[in-house]
A = this chain, B = another copy of it.
Amino acid sequence: MNTIKFESDKIYGFVEKECVAGYLPKANAAMEQVKNGTCKGNDFLGWVNLPSSITEETLNDIVETANNLRARTNVVVVIGIGGSYLGAKAVIEALSNSFAYYDNAPMKVLFAGHNIGEDYYHELVSYLADKEFGICVISKSGTTTEPAIGFRLLKELLEAKVGKEEAGKRIVAITDESKGALRTLANNEGYKTFVIPDNVGGRFSVLTPVGLLPIAIAGFDIKAFVKGAKDMEEYCLNTPDNIAVQYAACRNALNDKGYGVEVLANFNHKLHYVTEWWKQLYGESEGKDGQGIFPAGCDFTTDLHSMGQYIQDGVRMLMETVISVENPNYKVLIPTDTDNLDKLNFLAGKNVDYVNKMAELGTQLAHVDGGVPNMRIVMPNISEQTIGELLYFFELGCGISGTMCDINTFDQPGVEAYKKNMFALLDKPGYEEESKAIRAKLNK
């Protein structure tokens, strides 16, 4: 059963309850369109029923592949960009010990192909030189520039290190079912492969092997993660006015009132990359046609001493959505100190998280008083189950939200703009006209 709650009572000082209620029918209708495949961009709705449709067989195959890599290696580099990076990164960071990689963790999952950093690759290659490593390469086409460069470099290194045959056993490719450069290579070399479904875009792919395999390699329970998502799917798709509908209604109502920036804040730094994933999900889905809520992220209380001043007192265009985690997984009490110079003894014997919770409540009251409408997403703890619920909640909320605005939520035409220029500047074969044009423009 789904366990995550959504609260919106702290927005009604900024937008009337009746006004928000007026957005609910539209949000419910948008959900029906998403569910029935009648919204814009409906060739990319494969994510909607992913959690309930993934088979036990596929999950077992992923787990077995992960275990094979875990047996053969102690470092796996996941090569991917955008949704082929952020989904796995978000889940792994949420579930990991913050310091595990500084000790001799039995498995480290690193990332590459998500930047074009010459120093990054120098350092990564140096680091891997004396490690038993494997590669999980994720690319629909196999020709996306960033991951293709990363894969060339690391494949060469791995083959030189352990030979082509062993390398072939340590490389897993997640790619198109039948076409593209990576599919051809994987077939030629006999790599183990998983398929990126045609109807699932990168930013909605965390519940496909794109997210699941790296999460399993990192040692987490992907069946529990998928179950969490499935619980949320079943609840939402069968419940009018569900929490994803509510979230979409509230944020659209606020946006229409001039609150054009949404700050997603957590009080648990492990959710930092969930926020980064959310920024991609919402920014790339909604930021088009001169529209869209601008997504920004904060880790509190850290950033209360950074962005906190702005949120409290800056331009009143912000709404804030807080992810609250009710219970930590461990227990740490604040110690007593006989001298009490720091005057903290009034907190001695209390859980650290008790202070965190009062900071959270105090912040909510302060920001609302300061003119920032506040929503809350409450999860009982951080676990595979709850992260699965949370990510599906955000995906569905996004699908509803974009569909309410009558945009194609599932394309990303703007991402091509820099790529096209880059190919022209790099004189990529096939871009001869563009190369000429861009040089003319630069010489103007």
B-binding residues in A (CB < 8 A): 81-83, 85-86, 97-99, 101-103, 108, 110, 114-127, 142-143, 145-146, 148-149, 151-153, 156, 181-182, 184-185, 188, 202, 260-261, 267-270, 276, 279-280, 283-284, 286-292, 294-296, 299-302, 304-318, 328-332, 334-335, 337, 339, 341-344, 346-347, 351-353, 355-356, 358-359, 361-363, 365-367, 369-370, 382, 412-415, 417-429, 438, 441
Return the chain B residue nearest A328 by Cβ.
B118
- Can you give 22 contacting A-B residue pairs, CB < 8 Å? A98-B124, A103-B127, A115-B302, A118-B351, A181-B343, A260-B315, A261-B294, A283-B307, A283-B314, A287-B307, A287-B309, A287-B312, A290-B314, A295-B310, A310-B414, A313-B413, A346-B428, A362-B418, A362-B423, A362-B424, A363-B418, A366-B420
Copies in the complex: 2
A97 to B334, CA, bound (A): 35
Q: Are A335 and B156 in contact (CB under 8 A)?
A: yes
A341 to B343, CA, bound (A): 66
A318 contacts across to B, CB distance below 8 A? 294
Q: Are A115 and B415 in contact (CB under 8 A)?
A: no
Q: Are A421 and B363 in contact (CB under 8 A)?
A: yes
With A184-B341, A284-B310, A335-B153 known as contacts, the answer to whether A268 contacts B117 (CB < 8 A) is: yes
CB distance from A378 to the nearest CB of B (A): 17
A369 to B418, CA, bound (A): 10
Give the contacting residue for A356; candidates B117, B283, B289; CB below 8 A.
Answer: B117
CB distance from A310 to the nearest CB of B (A): 3
Most chain B CB within a 10 A radius of its CB, from A102, A153, A328: A102
CB distance from A115 to the nearest CB of B (A): 5
A412 to B318, CA, bound (A): 18
CB distance from A89 to the nearest CB of B (A): 10
Q: Are A288 and B314 in contact (CB under 8 A)?
A: yes
Q: Are A118 and B343 in contact (CB under 8 A)?
A: no
Q: Are B143 and A343 in contact (CB under 8 A)?
A: yes
Give the contacting residue for A116; candidates B342, B344, B352, B424; CB below 8 A.
Answer: B352
A231 to B118, CA, bound (A): 28
Q: Are A287 and B301 in contact (CB under 8 A)?
A: no
A315 to B308, CA, bound (A): 24
CB distance from A84 to the nearest CB of B (A): 9
A366 contacts across to B, CB distance below 8 A? 417-418, 420-421
A296 contacts across to B, CB distance below 8 A? 294, 296
A287 contacts across to B, CB distance below 8 A? 307, 309-315
Q: Are A355 and B426 in contact (CB under 8 A)?
A: yes
Q: Are A149 and B415 in contact (CB under 8 A)?
A: no
A146 to B301, CA, bound (A): 8
A415 to B307, CA, bound (A): 9
Known: A362-B418, A367-B418. 18 other contacts (CB 8 A): A82-B306, A86-B306, A103-B127, A115-B302, A116-B359, A119-B330, A119-B382, A125-B332, A148-B344, A149-B334, A149-B352, A152-B337, A152-B344, A288-B314, A294-B317, A309-B412, A312-B418, A362-B419
